[in-house]
Amino acid sequence: MSPDSISSYVSSLDPQRAAVCDRLAKSIDATLPRATSKLWHSIPVWFVGENPAVGFTARKTGVMLMFWNGQHFEEPELENTGSFHMAQIAFEDPAQIDEQKLSRWLEKAGTSIWDMVGERRAFVENQRKAKAAKAAKAAKTVKRAKARKPAKKTSKPKLAKRTKSKKRAKAKK
């Protein structure tokens, strides 16, 4: 996806929200020229490397500007949200956007990047290791249990007892 998909996103909005998104997109592109932009989970997001840095989403009441590592920016205007590192701010009108603050936040977004991809890979790897360790432990437990049990004695097949009637029948032959 490309800026074309973002411009399609913006053009689908009502004029008020489209004006906010357009202004934000231009500022983000100007401040983060190396970032790649695309629609991610149906919203415009700019990535630094593989990691999301900044994005926005149009809501009923305005536009939410989100910074994936925003909780580490130490900016009181940004509201912490979610269980990760995200912080956000809402705009209802382009006139609410303070260009100096926005520029400062975007500079931080370009340098203070949450390594979401690295954390995810580490998490998945730890899960695999834990699962393998659990399976190895279970296999070891089964092996020990088998080693502790004495082997079952196999009994010799019992010979059928001959009854007197069978003996008599043989004797008559």
**127 assigned to some structural domain:** no
CA distances from residue 80 to 29, 75, 134 in whole angstroms, order as listed: 24, 10, 37
**143 assigned to some structural domain:** no
Count, residues in the chain: 173
pLDDT for 1 equals 41
Give 91: exposed, middle or buried? Use CB within 10 Å, 0-12, 13-18, 19+.
buried
**147 assigned to some structural domain:** no
CA-wise closest residue to 25 among 5, 48, 49: 5
pLDDT, mean over the chain: 84
In which band, very low, low, confident or very high, does the pLDDT at 125 lie, cut at 50, 70 and 90? confident
**161 assigned to some structural domain:** no
3-class SS string, 63-96: EEEEECCHHHCCCCCCEECCCCCCEEEEECCHHH
**169 assigned to some structural domain:** no
**94 assigned to some structural domain:** yes
Q: Write the pLDDT tens digit of every residue in 16-50.
A: 999 999 999 999 999 999 999 999 999 999 999 99
**Contact assessment for residue 90 and residue 64, using Cβ atoms and an 8 Å cutoff:** yes
- The whole-model pTM stands at 0.67
Residue with more model confidence, 124 or 159: 124
Q: Write the pLDDT tens digit of every residue in 57-95.
A: 999 889 999 999 999 999 999 999 976 789 999 999 999
Q: Which domain holds residue 76?
A: 3-110
Number of domains present in the structure of the chain: 1
Which of 54-68, 114-128, 159-173 shows the lowest per-residue confidence on average (mean pLDDT)? 159-173
160 has a pLDDT exceeding 70: no
Rounded Cα gap, residues 56 and 65, in angstroms: 4
Max CA-CA distance within the chain?
Answer: 122
**Contact assessment for residue 69 and residue 53, using Cβ atoms and an 8 Å cutoff:** yes
**Contact assessment for residue 88 and residue 79, using Cβ atoms and an 8 Å cutoff:** yes
The residue assigned the tokens 């004495």 is: 150
Q: Write the pLDDT tens digit of every residue in 92-118.
A: 999 999 999 999 999 999 887 766 666
CATH number (domain holding residue 21):
3.90.1150.200
The residues facing 63 across adjacent strands are 58, 91
CA-wise closest residue to 54 among 105, 121, 90, 13: 105
- Mean per-residue pLDDT for 134-145? 76
pLDDT for 149 equals 66
- Mean per-residue pLDDT for 3-9? 85
pLDDT for 17 equals 95
In which band, very low, low, confident or very high, does the pLDDT at 173 lie, cut at 50, 70 and 90? low
- Reading the block at residue 138, the tokens are 């279970």
